Amino acid sequence: MTPVAGQAPDGPGLESRHRAWRVLLAVAAGAYADAALERELAQGSLSPLDRGLVTELAYGAIRQRRLLDGWINAHARMVAERQPPPLRWLLHVGLYQILFSERVPVSAAVSTSVALARRIGLARLAPTVNAILRAVLRRREALPGPLAPWDGLSLPADPAERLGLCHSLPPWLATALLAWLPAAGAEAFARAAATPPPLDLRINPARTDRATQQAAFAAAGVAAEPLPDHPLALTLPGRSGDLRALPGYLEGHWCVQDRHAQAVVPLLAPRPGERILDACAAPGGKTTQIAECLRGQGELWAVDRSEARLRRVRANAERLGQLEGIGCLAADAGDLELLRPDWIGYFDAILLDAPCSGLGTLARHADARWRVTPAMIEELLPVQSRLLEAIAPLLRRGGRVVYATCTVHPQENRGRIDAFLKGHPTWQLEQELQWWPGEGGGDGFYAARLAAPALNGA
């Protein structure tokens, strides 16, 4: 029998919901979801099952905020945004279980929500919590199944409003997706952005090979599948949490890297003996991949403006046995021409994995969809352009740049390339790759390879 998480209203089940509720409260007050969750999980003992429940409820309810508000608005006297925050987030934890959770019986969802209302000092509102959750249940029980989480709500006619409500996207993003993609593509994006992503690994060919590592996982009872389109990738279905105990981690046989992120360095195609700059390198997923391509011959520099994040490049490189081959420099990549005049015209190839809005990785960050705003993206565009302009003089004639992001926003991607090419008409856009979230199972990514002119270039 599959154990059911937290059925006893006063037992660990209530504790799990209480912690998930505190994560929602913290995120609404500005905390990052992963940091808030980590704090809650660090406090006292919870079984692995209940830790999983806290994670599912907290991340799920944060992602589905708009839809859960829609249900509150349909059944409460006061709209969700005007509810006292402790009540609003408590209702979200309860509603999320009713609408989404496959492992929590609806009776446990209601009883633990009412018990939680009492525990957090909202005893006066416990009957309200009970009435709203039961009204939602009654509404859905009257419908023939199987039910989507929005079935039972009256949906807006406007396509963007509808997409945004059903899939809990901010209005601006729902509108933008429908401008960028056909309706089915926008919906596929929305579904992928709400689905916990697969865990992909990149094998370190200097230490092992994919079949050997797969066999080592199998011997430890860990399911791992090779990804046919990505020669060094294994994917671990349903795996998350602390990976350091898995076979081969400490020995540097692999690192975690999304399958599409693994396709960016092959576009740069570093060859042994070349001089390569990774201009926004931390935490080093692509730096270490470049080092693997150079096989100890050539020169590789990892630049990041954050010294703390650069330490993660060093730690990753050390574990993978590549530290000696990588120079690290904490600096603003926009200032390298001034800081390192010896680097002008020096590099054969440069990777600029630019800071971006991260719209391709919403599935990995439960709260990201509520943080990213059009104004923030407007502010990123000149930053991305400035970095691209600033690294161009560091390239030798005939050299190549790969500009990459983990966003799908056309302005952050092709828009930056077009702006650059306008000012540098002798450069060429050689190849472009774009993945939308869910396409091929990985994150959304963009990468473009630019070639500098071989002679007298602009």
Ligand X SMILES: C[S@@+](CC[C@H](N)C(=O)[O-])C[C@H]1O[C@@H](n2cnc3c(N)ncnc32)[C@H](O)[C@@H]1O
Select 128 or 288, whichever has its Cβ closest to ligand X. Answer: 288
CB of 288 to ligand X, least distance (A): 8
CB of 440 to ligand X, least distance (A): 18
CB of 358 to ligand X, least distance (A): 8
3-state helix, strand, coil in the chain (%, to 5): 50, 15, 35
Q: Is there a catalytic annotation at residue 406?
A: yes
CB of 284 to ligand X, least distance (A): 5
Report yes or no: 454 and 348 within 8 Å, Cβ to Cβ.
no
Catalytic residue (choose from 255, 280, 356, 406): 406
Query: Residue 200's closest CA among 229, 226, 228?
Result: 226
Which strands form 428-435's sheet, in the order they lie side by side?
326-330, 299-304, 275-278, 347-353, 395-405, 445-451, 428-435
Select 208 or 262, whichever has its Cβ closest to ligand X. Answer: 262
Binding site for ligand X (CB under 6 A): 280-286, 303-306, 309, 332-334, 353, 355, 387
Query: Residue 373's closest CA among 188, 173, 130?
Result: 173
Select 9 or 444, whichever has its Cβ closest to ligand X. Answer: 444
Select 106 or 354, whichever has its Cβ closest to ligand X. Answer: 354
Select 235 or 257, whichever has its Cβ closest to ligand X. Answer: 257
Letter string b/e over residues 192-210, b meaning 16 or more CB atoms within 10 A of that residue's CB: bbbeebbbbbbbbeebbeb
CB of 242 to ligand X, least distance (A): 20
Residue with tokens 């940091």: 35
In the chain, the amino acid numbered 98 is I
Partnered with residue 203 across adjacent β-strands are 254
Q: Rounded to 5 degrees, what angle do the CA atoms 348, 351, 357 make?
A: 165
Report yes or no: 160 and 174 within 8 Å, Cβ to Cβ.
yes
CB of 308 to ligand X, least distance (A): 9
Select 382 or 440, whichever has its Cβ closest to ligand X. Answer: 382
Select 90 or 404, whichever has its Cβ closest to ligand X. Answer: 404
Q: Where are the alpha helices (DSSP H) in 269-373?
A: 285-294, 307-319, 336-339, 368-371
Round to whole Å and give the CA distance between 68 and 110. Answer: 15
Round to whole Å and give the CA distance between 187 and 181. Answer: 9
Q: For the CA atoms of 30, 36, 40, 41, what is the dihedral angle to 10 degrees?
A: 170
What is the radius of gyration, based on Cα positions, of the chain? 24
CB of 90 to ligand X, least distance (A): 36
Letter string b/e over residues 426-436, b meaning 16 or more CB atoms within 10 A of that residue's CB: ebeeeeebbbb
Report, as residue numbers or ranges, the catalytic residues: 406
